[in-house]
Chain A
Amino acid sequence: MSIKTKCLSRRTKVLSWTPENLLRNGLIAGRRADRYPHCYSIDVGAGGPAIIRDGTRLPLKREAGWYKDAIIYQIHVRTFFDSNSDGIGDFHGLAQKLDYVQELGVNAIWLMPFFSSPLRDDGYDISDYKSVHPSYGTLEDFKTFLSSAHDRGIRVIIEMVANHTSDQHPWFLESRSSQDNPKRDWYVWSDTDTTYRGTRIIFLDTEMSNWAWDPISKSYYWHRFFSHQPDLNYDNPAVCEEMWNVMKFWLELGVDGFRLDAVPYLIEREGTSCENLPETHEVIRELRKKVDDQFPGAILLAEANQWPADLRPYFGNGDEFHMAFHFPLMPRMFMGLRLEDRKPITEILQQTPEIPATCQWCLFLRNHDELTLEMVTDIERDYMYDIYASDKTMRLNLGIRRRLAPLLDNDRRRIELMNGMLMSLPGTPIIYYGDEIGMGDNIYLGDRNGVRTPMQWSGGWNGGFSTADPESLYSPPILNPVYGYQAVNVLSQKRTEHSLLSWMKHIMRIRRSSPVFGAGSIEFLYPANHRVLAYVRQLGKETVLVVNNLSSAAQAVELDLRRYKGNILIEMFGRNIFPRIGDVPYLLTMGPYQFYWFRLRRI
């Protein structure tokens, strides 16, 4: 880690007062030396750049577009670290582990819901938006965590479950209390269960209908997810207003953005699928405007499991979401790997429309949910099931509830290749906690709890997650000899240079070394060998060539690089030089599941 120090003395114009800009310019410039008498330093440590003034860190300023260069680490407070030995992770514990997160090399954390909740859907059933669930600590603990994260240059994105609340939420309790309650209109009520018939049921395995009977007010209420999660009525301006108040509450505390859960379902209209309605976009545009006006730099991230063309409207003209998950790409990466064929990946990216320059895709391999197979065809889904979830207990709804390492047979080469693609395809990568060390899952736990087991810190007591009795943990840790905490843990992987953790740190360091990965354009090369996925990322003068071998066998591939004739290739991991590009097809031989990142240089 290098520390670069420079006292400000020169008169130059400040373009944008951000650590990244300072870094790019290679110096820190000030308008007037006498107005900046302090000694600044830039820490370009693993946690991303941060400015240190006279030994103390400055609070992170929100630069527009920061999310484009980000690498996001997805954490559930409950699963990360237990500081008070109650068997449940908490904010205090999470704050203690921030050094690890910083070292890892990510610069943003996405926290799953930590609000007050009956926890019938792992916190996605919120009963009070403005408080922290007592198991995880207090609001004060959250504030402490937030500021220490910011001190390390790590931004924090929190969950905003806007579509629905818990049925224990006071609003719902009031709403259902009688048909003429003032909050009655805060939820979607109906006398029959036949309204909005064209709407699909998402949790096919548990729910029979999108309507649930409320015996108290003697009518049906609308729910797209579990029946204990009634949908809020966004046709009611009061609801919109109140939800903005909630967001404002957290933004004022300093959070850097929200992941909006279940966005397509905010508004219902008869005769439609009740998804992606124009009215929904209207609600989002209003929210975005308020965010931009009052908290510039904060971001909105959409969770909308839709086809790319249907997702595109959520970016609007850059006036809706900053980011959205690219759901259809993820299963196709797994599919391409197993088919040893790049076609699924290139095809979905060909179908992905252009998005406004200020917007960004969020890419992920695995997350806290099942590997969703909603956005694939029937043939593809059957294939995915047969290949990745031959055991039926691994399947849930329309998806596969497994973690990255078990999905890839714990094959290090495949894990590396998939992460290599995640880090080099256009978008902001998200790493699900534990996947950086290759944690396993427990398919015998119900629902999606199998992928939400305690983080494995060491080979010791409860895997270093908690000092409580193992029996009292919120979830049993993984114990088997392959994926259990004694085999897979942070401590042992830190010690070896060859571990997956060390490798993940390395690849993230390389990704951060060039803005081309976050913001560059992509152009696919289509070598005749369909097992090789090759693309060129370009931003300004920086050009990076990425070549991935999806096959389990060695491959020869000829790349048409005539456009880049005269450049030499520099392999970014080992920094070795490869031959200059000439007129003939560039021949590469690639080992099984091997990938190269080449920086193109004209010397």
Chain B
Amino acid sequence: MAEETVLTDDFLRQLINVGEVDILVGLPTHNNARTIEPVIRAIQAGILKCFPRERVVIINADGGSQDGTPELVIRASIDDVWNVSKVYALRTLHSISTRYARNPEPGTALRTILAAADLLRAKACVVVSPDSTTIEPDWLQRLVRPVYNDNFDLVAPIYRRQKFEGVLMRNLLYPMTRAIYGYRVREPYASEFAISGRLATDFLTKETWNAEWGRIGAEICLTITAITGKYRVCQSFLGTKAQPARSASDLVAAMRRTVGALFLSLDSNFPLWSAIADSQPVPTLGAQSEVMLEPVRVNRKRLREMFATGVAQLEPVLRSILSASTLSELQRIAALEVNEFNYPADVWAKTVFEFAASYHKCVISRDHIVQALVPLYRGRTLSFLLENRDGSGQDMEKSVESLCGEFERLKPYLLEVWADRK
């Protein structure tokens, strides 16, 4: 496996032409032609504004786009041959593209970008999502500076969010990562982040690379590696994060990518996380978090119904995953009407931990375990919405904080169910 290469000969030739760089901007894409132009423009402007002297390259790892995304990226080059945009720049800016596979594999895309960063000896490597239409030129600076100037190894973003955006992040990924690995990283699974060349190189050589990571994405693994490997981690406030409209099937895919990856990471890191008892804050540049209070219309009845149906229909599946007490608790909650609906934090934390333990033990197919969590997450979402319906941003922060506390408090329970061989 070690000999397997993600770099095609053509890509390698392009890398030779790029040569050593200071900053590498990675752009994993798949049919993003619709949104990528403002992103590319912002990246280019950010480079010209904040890093005019640095050697920068934009590397697009494309998962087989059919809509000409790579061509749009390549057009962002600034050089003496193709300078059609007439942008003024001190030095050449290469913008190159490679197709790593026919189908998108987020993990392989990241690996391609990191491999390029390693080969080009980039001091800082920043990954930007092609969906981030609200990106501003300053984002680049805010992500790269801590790595480039202050020797941080990982810069995780903090976004200004709508009140009810990033619900999974707030209710599962953040509290659980924080409880498990002991670092308060707000966005452990970020679509924008920056890492040092050192971390990129070390991460590439890690044994944990496998097909699974390639498929579901390795961002969370990167965060965990940074946290557990004694790298310097910080957070940087970026700005408003746009949310592309997602449908229900996207939720399953997102859960697979994020929750699946988080659960998977528990397997190999057990010795590390089992010893961590509490969490510590991470240095943060800019705002800790910002919440926009815009009214959101959510069909609460539908959420409750999906949760209740899920609990009822998946009963045999849940029985094999959850403990009897948790399952009966869920069944009790499922019987509640919308106005009195409440999925308490402790039950939620227990649910998640039991799922994690079952995932570890492979009581059923792991993918099925993650899928079975989806309806329960919907229930938690509803509870979260109801709880914070009229609250301010600060109130919501408090509620997230108390949820995190609940996760941390119940960590011994996770260890218990983890070890329990039923």
A residues lining the B interface (CB < 8 Å) = 335, 339-344, 346-347, 350, 377, 379-380, 383, 524, 526-531, 551, 553, 555-556, 558
B89: chain A residues at CB < 8 Å are: 343
A340 CA to B14 CA in the complex, in Å?
17
B52: chain A residues at CB < 8 Å are: 379, 383
A342: chain B residues at CB < 8 Å are: 80, 92
B17 touches A528 (CB 8 A): yes
A551 CA to B20 CA in the complex, in Å?
10
What 16 additional pairs, Cβ within 8 angstroms, besides A335-B90, A379-B88, A530-B17? A341-B92, A342-B80, A343-B79, A343-B80, A343-B92, A346-B80, A383-B53, A383-B90, A524-B80, A526-B79, A528-B13, A528-B17, A530-B19, A530-B92, A531-B19, A558-B13
B90 touches A379 (CB 8 A): yes
A527: chain B residues at CB < 8 Å are: 17
Given A379-B52, A556-B16, do A526 and B92 touch, yes or no (CB 8 Å)?
no
Residue in B14, B20, B83, B91 whose CB lies within 8 Å of A553 = B20
Determine if B419 is an interface residue (Cβ-Cβ < 8 Å).
no
Q: In angstroms, how far is the closest chain A Cβ from the Cβ of B46?
A: 15
Q: In angstroms, how far is the closest chain B Cβ from the Cβ of A582?
A: 18
A553 CA to B55 CA in the complex, in Å?
15
A555 touches B80 (CB 8 A): no
Q: In angstroms, how far is the closest chain B Cβ from the Cβ of A308?
A: 15
A339 touches B19 (CB 8 A): no
The closest CB in chain A to the CB of B78 belongs to A343
The closest CB in chain A to the CB of B96 belongs to A528
Q: In angstroms, how far is the closest chain A Cβ from the Cβ of B170?
A: 42
Beta-carbon contacts under 8 Å, B44-74 to A: 52-53, 55
B interface residues, tally (CB under 8 Å): 19
A350 CA to B80 CA in the complex, in Å?
9
A339: chain B residues at CB < 8 Å are: 53, 90-91
A347 touches B80 (CB 8 A): yes
B17: chain A residues at CB < 8 Å are: 527-530
Residue in B14, B16, B88, B91 whose CB lies within 8 Å of A341 = B91
A377 touches B88 (CB 8 A): yes
Q: In angstroms, how far is the closest chain A Cβ from the Cβ of B24?
A: 16
B55: chain A residues at CB < 8 Å are: 340
Q: In angstroms, how far is the closest chain A Cβ from the Cβ of B183?
A: 37
Beta-carbon contacts under 8 Å, B1-37 to A: 13-14, 16-17, 19-20
Q: In angstroms, how far is the closest chain A Cβ from the Cβ of B391?
A: 48
The closest CB in chain A to the CB of B89 belongs to A343
A556: chain B residues at CB < 8 Å are: 16
A528 CA to B14 CA in the complex, in Å?
8
Interface of B is mostly: loop
The closest CB in chain B to the CB of A349 belongs to B80
Q: In angstroms, how far is the closest chain B Cβ from the Cβ of A344?
A: 7
Determine if B94 is an interface residue (Cβ-Cβ < 8 Å).
yes
A346 CA to B19 CA in the complex, in Å?
19
A341 CA to B79 CA in the complex, in Å?
10
Residue in B13, B16, B91 whose CB lies within 8 Å of A343 = B91
A347 CA to B78 CA in the complex, in Å?
11
Q: In angstroms, how far is the closest chain B Cβ from the Cβ of A250?
A: 43
B14: chain A residues at CB < 8 Å are: 528
Q: In angstroms, how far is the closest chain A Cβ from the Cβ of B54?
A: 10
A340 CA to B18 CA in the complex, in Å?
11
A344 touches B16 (CB 8 A): no
Number of interchain pairs (Cβ within 8 Å): 53
The closest CB in chain A to the CB of B94 belongs to A530
B19 touches A551 (CB 8 A): yes
A267 CA to B83 CA in the complex, in Å?
38
Determine if B298 is an interface residue (Cβ-Cβ < 8 Å).
no
A555 CA to B88 CA in the complex, in Å?
26
Determine if B81 is an interface residue (Cβ-Cβ < 8 Å).
yes
A339 CA to B52 CA in the complex, in Å?
11
A379 CA to B88 CA in the complex, in Å?
10
A551 CA to B17 CA in the complex, in Å?
12
A383 CA to B90 CA in the complex, in Å?
9
A339 CA to B91 CA in the complex, in Å?
7
A350 CA to B16 CA in the complex, in Å?
25
B81 touches A526 (CB 8 A): yes
A339 CA to B92 CA in the complex, in Å?
9
Q: In angstroms, how far is the closest chain B Cβ from the Cβ of A101?
A: 37
A341: chain B residues at CB < 8 Å are: 91-92
B90 touches A380 (CB 8 A): yes
Q: In angstroms, how far is the closest chain B Cβ from the Cβ of A385?
A: 12
The closest CB in chain B to the CB of A533 belongs to B80
A528 CA to B18 CA in the complex, in Å?
8
A344: chain B residues at CB < 8 Å are: 90-91
The closest CB in chain A to the CB of B14 belongs to A528
A529 CA to B15 CA in the complex, in Å?
9
A347: chain B residues at CB < 8 Å are: 80, 83
A160 CA to B17 CA in the complex, in Å?
48
Q: In angstroms, how far is the closest chain B Cβ from the Cβ of A528?
A: 4
The closest CB in chain B to the CB of A342 belongs to B80
B79: chain A residues at CB < 8 Å are: 343, 526, 530
Q: In angstroms, how far is the closest chain A Cβ from the Cβ of B47?
A: 13
A377 CA to B90 CA in the complex, in Å?
9
Beta-carbon contacts under 8 Å, B65-124 to A: 79-81, 83, 88-92, 94
A531: chain B residues at CB < 8 Å are: 19
A335 CA to B20 CA in the complex, in Å?
18
A380: chain B residues at CB < 8 Å are: 90
A339 CA to B19 CA in the complex, in Å?
13
The closest CB in chain B to the CB of A380 belongs to B90
B80 touches A526 (CB 8 A): yes
Q: In angstroms, how far is the closest chain A Cβ from the Cβ of B16?
A: 6
A526: chain B residues at CB < 8 Å are: 79-81
A350: chain B residues at CB < 8 Å are: 80
Q: In angstroms, how far is the closest chain A Cβ from the Cβ of B116?
A: 16
A342 CA to B90 CA in the complex, in Å?
10
A379 CA to B20 CA in the complex, in Å?
22
Q: In angstroms, how far is the closest chain B Cβ from the Cβ of A415?
A: 22
Given A339-B91, A343-B92, do A529 and B80 touch, yes or no (CB 8 Å)?
no
The closest CB in chain A to the CB of B82 belongs to A526
A524: chain B residues at CB < 8 Å are: 80
A128 CA to B53 CA in the complex, in Å?
49
23 A-B contacts (beta carbon < 8 Å):
A335-B90, A339-B90, A340-B19, A341-B92, A342-B80, A343-B79, A343-B89, A343-B91, A343-B92, A344-B90, A379-B88, A380-B90, A383-B53, A383-B90, A524-B80, A526-B80, A527-B17, A530-B17, A530-B19, A530-B79, A553-B19, A553-B20, A555-B19
A90 CA to B88 CA in the complex, in Å?
48
A527 CA to B16 CA in the complex, in Å?
12
A529 touches B91 (CB 8 A): no
Residue in B19, B53, B83, B88 whose CB lies within 8 Å of A529 = B19
A531 CA to B14 CA in the complex, in Å?
13
A529: chain B residues at CB < 8 Å are: 16-17, 19
What are the 4 A-B residue pairs with the smallest beta carbon separation, nearest first?
A528-B17, A530-B92, A346-B80, A526-B81
The closest CB in chain B to the CB of A530 belongs to B92
A203 CA to B83 CA in the complex, in Å?
35
Q: In angstroms, how far is the closest chain A Cβ from the Cβ of B29?
A: 22
A555 CA to B16 CA in the complex, in Å?
8
A530 CA to B77 CA in the complex, in Å?
12
Q: In angstroms, how far is the closest chain A Cβ from the Cβ of B10?
A: 11
